[in-house]
Structure 1
Amino acid sequence: MQTEKIIDYIVNWLKDYATNAKVNGFVVGISGGIDSAVTSTLCAKTGLDVLCIEMPIHQAESHVSRAQEHIQQLKTRFDNVRDIRADLTPVFEEFKTEISLEGTQATVDMALANTRARLRMTTLYYYAGLQKLLVAGTGNKVEDFGVGFYTKYGDGGVDLSPIADLLKSEVYKLGDVLKVPDSIMKAAPSDGLFGDARSDEDQIGASYPELEWAMKMADLGHTSSDFEGRKKEVFEIYKRFNSSNKHKMVPIPICEIPKNLK
């Protein structure tokens, strides 16, 4: 992998897109994870305006501290980087007072987790509109096109996706060259949507290296019957997520009216 050349390619792609769109730069939600750290650094390297927004909602302290460390490091390295903090916890709590919380604990928890992501998306687009910026997505290839591990119209609601063609392992390689803080490089990946420190692996049941392997096997046409033991288990986990989240990864279905009915 030609990491430095890939970095240059993405930076030029970002800069060209923003210039053609006649905007001032980018806004990025900073979570304290590797994907947002790499994305924001790539945006910063364009030389265009970059607004980093931290948006805690009952966030685990480890996530908050990593996000703040990254933002401060980025501001030290790049003059074009600014940041704000939008504490969305009061907004989230007020939202909960106006809705029904009936249902199983699991369905309520998941609905509220997705609501957190959508509140953050709304915040990013508010500032994007206010300051003429593009919302830069932070999803990687495994999340966006493999298991669909993101919130529809939440962190999936973006203007452009600079790292969506990179596997998680490749994002880490970029992070190393881009000097992402060690605390982020070593942290277990987490979506931070449940107010605790549970990892992506805790939720999915497989690690990113395992999911990358399963994604490759699926692309080669393999089925679960081709594997045994843990490999079979991981492959079935991947296929289950890929199938159930397919609605996120394909265009919105449109009911096309027959011409003879118009």
Structure 2
Amino acid sequence: MKICLFNNNRLGVVDGNEVLDVSSVLTRIGASEYPYPRGDQLIACLPELMPVIADAIQFARRYPLSKVTLRSPVANPGKVVAAPVNYQAHLDEAIEDTATFSRAHVRKIQETGLFLKATSSLVGPDDSVYVGLPDRRTDHEIELVAIIGKRAKNVLAKDALSYVAGYSIGLDITIRGPEERSLRKSLDSYTVLGPWLVTADEIENPHALAMTLDVNGKVRQSANTKDLIMDVAELIEFASKFYTLEPGDLLYTGTPEGVGPIQPGDTINCEIERIGKIIVNVEAS
């Protein structure tokens, strides 16, 4: 199932070129009192909501997909966890390009570890990316994103995929420079997620998905998740040793080779097999 949030955070199911409004099921989540529970409550309740959503589809109002505004499919992630240099070819290009990539940031992922992005940087696919520091080089990075579905701590890789609610396309927008990654990658609009959440049952093997990114029609990144250094399951094992992963946490799994600069006026087209595609405009802030 393809689950989206659209317009003023209506809940939808994507069926071909239409969005079916199933927002009525949101009342099943229930009210929470302060202090609110950690994590995204829609994602936390998704297993119980799935049969209710299936029933609601029968009576749902339909909207043309082209006429709605798609939001981030996860509204309230507690954490955005990201994997640096997790494709060998990207590591190789970073090592070779000493002018662009700081030497401190070209170590293997097993050595450098993961990093966090500010949740305030998260936007949906129909939002624009706003170049925050125009005097600095700003790059695109396409990534497969795993959306955590239930609390995970010290999970083994062999069990890890059972903790995934679904998958989405991510854009990890990046300013190049010597600062820590979490600073350079956390400007407003620098974390794009969309177009929807594809439930994990529809992607049995996330380690064989082709992906492409083009800017203004010119292909820059073309790869397959089979080339990940640490695959999705291994990343969840790695991350859950350090963090307690909560429902709705986002795991950006790394970008392949071909990263390059973007500027206001550009259009970024991203596609990942079995998930879909997003088209993101770049604007001046």
Fold shared, TM-score > 0.5 on shorter chain: no
| TM-score bracket relative to the smaller structure | under 0.3
TM-score (norm 1): 0.25
More helix by share: 1
Q: Which has the higher contact order (CA 8 A, sep 6+)?
A: 2
Larger radius of gyration: 1
More strand by share: 2
